[in-house]
Chain A
Amino acid sequence: MSLASPLLRAGEACRRPLKGAFNRIGSGDMSVSNTRRVILGAALAGAAFLGTLLPAAAQETIKVGILHSLSGTMAISETTLKDVMLMLIDEQNKKGGVLGKKLEAVVVDPASNWPLFAEKARELIAKDKVSAVFGCWTSVSRKSVLPVFKELNSILFYPVQYEGEESERNVFYTGAAPNQQAIPAVDYLAKEEKVQRWVLAGTDYVYPRTTNKILEAYLKSKGVKAEDIMINYTPFGHSDWQTIVSDIKKFGSAGKKTAVVSTINGDANVPFYKELGNQGIKATDIPVVAFSVGEEELAGIDTKPLLGHLAAWNYFQSVKTPENEAFIKQWKAYKKNDKAVTNDPMEAHVIGFAMWVKAVEKAKSFDPDKVIDALPGIEAPNLTGGISKMLPNHHITKPVLIGEIKADGQFDVVSKTGLVAGDAWSKELDGSKDLIGDWVEKKCGNFNVKTGKCGGA
């Protein structure tokens, strides 16, 4: 409260009388006008008001917030993440909870509405007093809750691959940064498929824009000419792909091996792949590698025409490791559905939750400051047979897997790297090549190694 507003100073002088006045609002006795309607109106307002601010009951359990859309356009992706969190919390409680206390999940529905995300985040932290929040999917939802987490100093675990260019003290990014997904995928295509011509197709929002920017710079640095790169953006939920698919076909007929790098988001993918299949673009001619298409998205498509198209993730359901098989079994049992699929963001929550539990145990406290300080360096097994580690820039190490779509809607892993450390700031972009995030030594999310100063520039 260093920037005290005039209001504050004025208020100090008349503290007592006003306290009394406010007291009266609640009881509905106000001297402005004495009609019954005033009483009714004020009482209604007062009651409603109190409803929003009643503090939660005394805490015997430790609360964990789950901030995923259960309705609206993003429910399609986020609902399973809510379920996976409930399952993990349930399982932790069966093991005796954390630090001897049971965990309690607090589920809210931000309804795919970005301002509502901020409101719900505030509610979780301020009213429900959660110890950590697991949530968000789109970048804009993360951006929307970010100021709230900073202001109220809490912890957010963000499980989705994103565009990078961020490292915040209160956020832990368990999804992939661009260097953990996009660049290895392009390397694979260039090496294994001898691709020389690239279509970068994406939905017009910040993740595809940034990823494509990074890829463009990267490809050019590898000697790909500008005329061999085609960039195309479409709006959210684009459903008529006829023109664009035929453009891709045309671009691919220049006599050089062509591939499509797709950052097309969620809903638009089904019609896109249906159109690819119908126009007869086979993976052997023009392979498509996607960064936002996982098992969940494929569940809505007949995958036979898509055989061989690729996706790059840090996890596939088809990976054969004991950890993964146990997880899939547990998930299917939890969902009571033998066809339930698992995907990459779910694994990110598994890792993130395990890391949070370990950090709490290390810090011997649920206090956000202590947990934030304890998290970097914490290791937790991922489901593909490695041990992921939380880095000082609040990103984690992950392997990069490239999978080809199989006829049953699963992926056949055709390439796997070792653990790759997530870069908060892309080396390929001019604005960020000198920046690093380091919350351990520098206590700074955007430290400029050239000028040695925190805060960009």
Chain B
Amino acid sequence: MRFVSCLLRMIALATLLALQPGAASAQGSPQAAEEAFTRLGADSFSDTNRAIEILIANAHPQAAVIIEALADGRLLAGGGAVVVKTKDGKLLDAKTGAALASEPPGLSAVRLNNGVRRTIQAALGGLGLLNPDAGKRIAAAEAVFKSRDASLLPVLEGAIAKESDARAKAALRQAQAAILIAKPDAPPFDRIAAVDVLRERGDQDALATLRSLPGDSSAGLREAQGRAVSAIESKLALWRAGQNLWYGLSLGSVLLLAAIGLAITFGVMGVINMAHGEMVMLGAYTTFIVQELIRTRFPGLFDYSLLIAVPLAFLVAGLVGIAIERGVIRFLYGRPLETLLATWGISLILQQAVRTAFGPTNREVGAPNFMSGAFEIGQLAITWNRLWIIVFAGLVFAALLAILKLTPIGLQMRAVTQNRRMASAMGIRTGRVDALTFGLGSGVAGLAGVALSQIDNVSPNLGQSYIIDSFMVVVFGGVGNLWGTLVGAMTLGIANKLLEPYAGAVLGKIALLVFIILFIQKRPRGLFAQKGRAVEA
């Protein structure tokens, strides 16, 4: 376990024992220890649980090592022997800690289930309360907060008295409060104070703890609890609104990523690109290949795998896009509806090609460390991957805008799409620009694939699930306008997430589709309509 070095845990254990006279009296009882080892070898979860309790209660000198090994699946048992396998692969006798010369026969790892994991967590929580690292003390306090192991109350009190770090102290107090709430024989005054501590904490877990107040508590305590619960609830309701907004932003950024490539190929070039989703899928598969290579060849680079995948996905999808444009679409300019048919055919081919090459099942794309987990701002849980996707979507959008507005090729692209013949007369090689524009749109779709590989299936069907939404976004925002796509994606994302808690996921989505249908009646050219006579052709 990540907690601590062995020595410090010994100190913690000693403190624990000093504070627990009942347990100390059984110290060193060889029968009890023997029983614990027999139970560890019994291959039954309840026996394993009991064994941990015995080891802790008896302050077995190897307790910390054994429990830590158990948590990691490094505790082996079989044929009456219990063996700890150290992280570097050496075998130690669990009873004595002595190194073993040879591996006893018939060993297998002691198995865990959630119940055993909870016991371990609680035990390690008790052991980590006095860790010198404040962060680990907080983690330990959190573990105690959840396990609410009343036997740790004395340790907690000792720890609180010594604690100097404000955050750790608060965490320890909260752990203490959680125990007190559930402890009917604690002094009533302390328990009311505990209610206040939890009210201060004010999150879901505090609410859960408060709600678990035993029914037979005194009237005063119940009243305090009732007030605290409603206070937390009203505060959480506010946070929840903020949370929904965040979810909406995050969904909006996913839609933006999925749609923005289409805003180029469909919006700017007028190609109804049904193979757009497959470009997204190619991007996701590129990410998969990059990770696979990194996993087998350069495991150290894993955290950078997505960064490496970004340019490659852009290139792969972009090149495929250029190939499609040169091979098929250039014969179809001026017949936009027929591009729909051809690209639909291409999308079928690409899907089946990927299915043949990679198999029909999902492929695993792992999350690099900087994209795993979540952090909290107040009661707002923000997951790192969503945050990075929002940032990424913003960057892609800005880059695309810059390319179109600031670079010569962007100028040529706009010129060709606005008046092809005039542009051609001015010496622009329209064919080349077409290919590059389509390549750019496809490449951006590939970038979306890198991001989507973090939150969705990497399977041949990946693209299909986004194609309709992408078209909705582009049409809603107004064809041919990148800003429209941005506003469209965000509006639809946020509206979807604000509706979902009330209407459910399906009805919310239906409501949005109906809204888009009605909205188009009102503004037949989308939110940001292109103005000018060319549109009314």
Contact = CB atoms under 8 A, between A and B. Distances in A.
B211 interface: yes
A352 to B, nearest CB: 22
A284 B71 CA distance: 13
A255 B209 contact: yes
Given A79-B359, A79-B360, A300-B458, A244 B45 contact: no
A202 interface: no
A252 B212 CA distance: 12
B362 A300 contact: yes
Contact of A283 (B117, B384, B506): B117
A396 to B, nearest CB: 26
A299 B361 contact: yes
A253 interface: yes
Nearest to A303: B364
B429 interface: no
The secondary-structure label for the interface of chain B is: helix
Interface string A229-252: 000011101111011101101101
B383 A76 contact: no
Contacts of B211: 253-255
B366 interface: yes
A300 B457 contact: yes
The contact size tier of chain B is: 35 or more
Given A235-B505, A243-B497, A280-B374, A271 B381 contact: no
A79 B243 CA distance: 40
A256 interface: yes
Interface in B209-240: 209-213, 240
B352 A299 contact: no
A193 B383 contact: no
B360 A75 contact: yes
A319 interface: no
B205 interface: yes
Nearest to B204: A253
Interface in B240-283: 240, 243-244, 247, 250-251, 254
B254 A240 contact: yes
Given A283-B117, A285-B146, A414 B45 contact: yes
B429 to A, nearest CB: 40
Contacts of B243: 246
Interface in A45-78: 70-73, 75-76
B500 A243 contact: yes
Contacts of B111: 412, 414
Contacts of A240: 247, 251, 254, 496-497, 505
B355 A252 contact: no
A325 interface: no
Contact of B247 (A243, A256, A284, A296): A243
Contact of A284 (B114, B251, B372, B374): B114
A105 interface: no
Interface in A291-329: 296-297, 299-302, 305, 308
B461 A242 contact: no
A144 interface: no
A274 to B, nearest CB: 6
B106 to A, nearest CB: 13
Contact of B381 (A246, A274, A285, A305): A246
B347 interface: no
A75 B460 contact: yes
A284 B147 CA distance: 10
Nearest to B376: A280
Interface in B111-133: 111-115, 117-118, 121
Contacts of A285: 146
A184 B488 CA distance: 48
Given A254-B211, A412-B112, 6 more contacts: A73-B461, A204-B506, A275-B455, A299-B363, A308-B112, A412-B113
Interface of A: 70-73, 75-76, 79-80, 192-193, 204, 233-235, 237-240, 242-244, 246-247, 249-250, 252-256, 267, 270-271, 274-275, 277-280, 283-285, 287, 296-297, 299-302, 305, 308, 404, 412, 414
Top 4 closest pairs, chain A to chain B, by CB: A300-B362, A255-B212, A255-B211, A253-B208
17 contacts: A71-B352, A76-B460, A242-B251, A243-B500, A254-B208, A255-B212, A275-B383, A279-B383, A280-B374, A284-B114, A284-B146, A287-B114, A300-B361, A300-B362, A300-B457, A302-B366, A305-B372
